[in-house]
Each structure stands twice: as structure tokens, then as C-alpha cells.
Amino acid sequence: MTAETQPSTAGTAQDSGSCCSPSGSCGPAGAADDQAGAVTTVYRVTGMTCGHCEGAVSAEISEIEGVGSVTAVASTGQVTVVSAGPLDEAAVRAAVDEAGYELAGTV
């Protein structure tokens, strides 16, 4: 009976989708499964100086069709975008401009 209980508990945790723990035991499978075949592009954005800047740039880029996630870091000027496919640079430039910053290209 003990052997039946252990697999059942492990199966339940995996089936519920809550496998991530503070130790990161689920690894990259959590986000990667949602965006299989995703494209990651790192852009350089000038003018960001704080968390508000990061949020503004992230919010605008997130509205582009196909964007799955955006991480902006003001201290480095880097904005990492994960998307379903390659993005049109003009669309990214327009989004960054709308946020009040300047796209300097890709890293």
C-alpha cells in the first residue's frame, strides 16, 4: 500500500500544475512549456532610470501581438522579450516610443 500512495501523491502534484518550489525543482519546464518554440530577443532601450520606466516599457511592448513576456532592467538598459516568433522591429520601436523612451537596437 505504501508503494501505491507515493506515486499517487507525486502524480497529483504534477497533474495540478503546481510543481514549482522555492528550489526551482520544475526547472525551465514551467514557462518553456507555455511558449515552446519561443523567440527571445534582447533590446537596448535608452532613457530608462527607474522601476516606473521599466514598467512603462514593459507594458507597451506587452501589447504587441505574440509577446509572451517582457523584462526591462533600467540599470542596464536591456529589455528581454519572449515572443511566439520574431517581432517587427518597427512595432517594438513604436511601443518603446509610446512609453517615452528610445529603442537603440538589439544586444
pLDDT digits (tens, 9 = 90+) for 81-102: 999 999 999 999 999 999 999 9
Are the beta carbons of 35 and 84 closer than 8 angstroms? yes
Q: State the Cα–Cα distance between residues 95 and 72, nearest whole angstrom.
A: 13
Per residue in 40-82, pLDDT tens?
Answer: 999 999 999 999 999 999 999 999 999 999 999 999 999 999 9
Angle at 95 between CA 89 and CA 97, to 5 degrees: 100
Q: Which helix (H) or strand (E) holds 70?
A: strand 67-73
Q: Which helix (H) or strand (E) holds 105?
A: strand 102-106
CATH fold label, 37-107: Alpha-Beta Plaits (3.30.70)
CB atoms within 10 A of CB 107: 12
Domain boundary assignment for the chain = 37-107
